[in-house]
């Protein structure tokens, strides 16, 4: 895989016309943005919660973290029952104010329709080969995933749940997705912080990615289906899907 091709693809998917989205305010905070389809749905079916102002779309809920979360949770359930939301996970994400303080939490399936910003931990599985070349683990997502099925991905990648610290999310996701024990990632610090933003079928994907580098022992197994990729090899962690090596040099 050529680096220029990857960079070109990332540039393509990250460019979009912001005019196609309407800013979403919750209280006085600008929290997200919605596309034309969701704007129409919210104004038509949720007039008690949403109204259009000169700034954009405003959610009228007020109060504490708990009361705002409660009101939006009931709304999200209505959207699910109406068939507007797919990929329901019964897992909440936290939405943060501009100053970084937690504002409310909401089912993660509703984040993209509202253009809310989530957080995720991603682990780059790196390996130093005998010849000094650096390589990176690349996993393939399940074809049954609601989001980006059968696409290539980091060794580990997952959202930070409401009430969860980055450290706990890193430990949980590393074990669940790659069988990496907690001790291997304890004390690991993010090597970079990236903002991923792109339009998707549900709305707008907007997420802060806390990326970690984890150095692993090189693997040696290569499945037959990878024979057409002469510069790759393949390993398998306990409880994980197959992972491919791509040269990082």
Note the pLDDT tens digit of each residue in 183-209: 999 999 999 999 999 998 899 999 999
CATH code of residue 176: 3.90.79.10
Do 124 and 108 have their domain in common?
no
Q: Select from 85, 116, 147 the last residue of a domain.
A: 116
pLDDT confidence of residue 179: 87
3-state secondary structure labels for all residues of the chain: CCHHHHHHHHHHHHCCCHHHEEEEEECCEEEEEEEHHHHHHHHHHCCCCEEECCCCEEECCCCCHHHHHHHHHHHHHHHHHCCCCCCCCCCEEEEECCCCCEEEEEEHHHHHHHCCEEEEEEEEEEEECCCCCEEEEEEECCCCCCCCCCCEECCEEEECCCCCCHHHHHHHHHHHHHCCCHHHHCCCCCCEEEEEEEECCCCEEEEEEEEEEEECCCCCCCCHHHCCCCCCCEECCCCCCCEEEEECC
Place 233 in a pLDDT band, splitting at 50, 70 and 90: very low
Q: Considering the domain boundaries, does residue 25 fall inside one? A: yes
Do 145 and 98 have their domain in common?
no
pTM of the model: 0.82
Counted domains in the chain: 2
Do 109 and 65 have their domain in common?
yes
Q: Considering the domain boundaries, does residue 249 fall inside one? A: no
Q: Considering the domain boundaries, does residue 66 fall inside one? A: yes
Do 22 and 127 have their domain in common?
no
* Domain boundaries, position 211: 119-236
Q: Considering the domain boundaries, does residue 242 fall inside one? A: no
Do 38 and 147 have their domain in common?
no
CATH code of residue 45: 3.30.750.160
Q: Look at 110-124, 129-143, 196-210 and tell me which has the smallest mean pLDDT.
A: 129-143
Q: Select from 116, 146, 180 the last residue of a domain.
A: 116
Do 63 and 159 have their domain in common?
no
pLDDT confidence of residue 42: 98
Q: How does pLDDT run across 64-104, given as a tens digit for each residue? A: 999 999 999 999 999 999 999 988 999 999 999 999 999 99
Q: Select from 81, 116, 151 the last residue of a domain.
A: 116
Q: How does pLDDT run across 95-116, given as a tens digit for each residue? A: 999 999 999 999 999 999 999 9
Do 69 and 168 have their domain in common?
no
Do 110 and 123 have their domain in common?
no
Q: Considering the domain boundaries, does residue 214 fall inside one? A: yes
Do 10 and 110 have their domain in common?
yes
Q: Considering the domain boundaries, does residue 248 fall inside one? A: no
pLDDT confidence of residue 71: 97
């Amino acid at each position: 895989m050529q680096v220029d091709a990857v960079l070109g693809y990332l540039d393509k998917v990250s460019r979009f016309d912001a005019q196609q989205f309407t800013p979403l305010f919750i209280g006085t905070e600008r929290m997200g943005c919605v596309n034309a389809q969701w704007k129409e749905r919210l104004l038509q079916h949720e007039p008690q919660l949403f109204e259009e102002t000169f700034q954009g779309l405003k959610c009228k809920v007020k109060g504490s973290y708990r009361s705002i979360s409660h009101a939006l949770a009931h709304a999200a359930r209505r959207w699910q029952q109406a068939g507007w939301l797919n990929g329901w996970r019964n897992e909440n994400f936290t939405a943060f104010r501009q100053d970084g303080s937690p504002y409310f939490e909401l089912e993660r399936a509703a984040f993209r329709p509202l253009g809310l910003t989530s957080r995720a931990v991603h682990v780059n599985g790196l390996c130093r080969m005998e010849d000094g070349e650096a390589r990176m683990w690349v996993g393939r997502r399940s074809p049954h995933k609601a989001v980006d099925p059968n696409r290539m991905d980091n060794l580990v990648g997952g959202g930070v749940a409401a009430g969860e610290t980055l450290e706990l999310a890193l430990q949980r996701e590393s074990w669940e997705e790659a069988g990496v024990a907690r001790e291997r990632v304890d004390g690991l610090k993010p090597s970079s912080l990236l903002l991923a933003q792109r339009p998707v079928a549900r709305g707008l994907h907007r997420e802060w990615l806390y990326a970690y580098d984890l150095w692993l022992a090189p693997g040696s197994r290569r499945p037959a289906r990878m024979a057409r990729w002469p510069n790759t090899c393949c390993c398998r962690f306990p409880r994980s899907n197959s992972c491919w090596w791509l040269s990082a040099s």
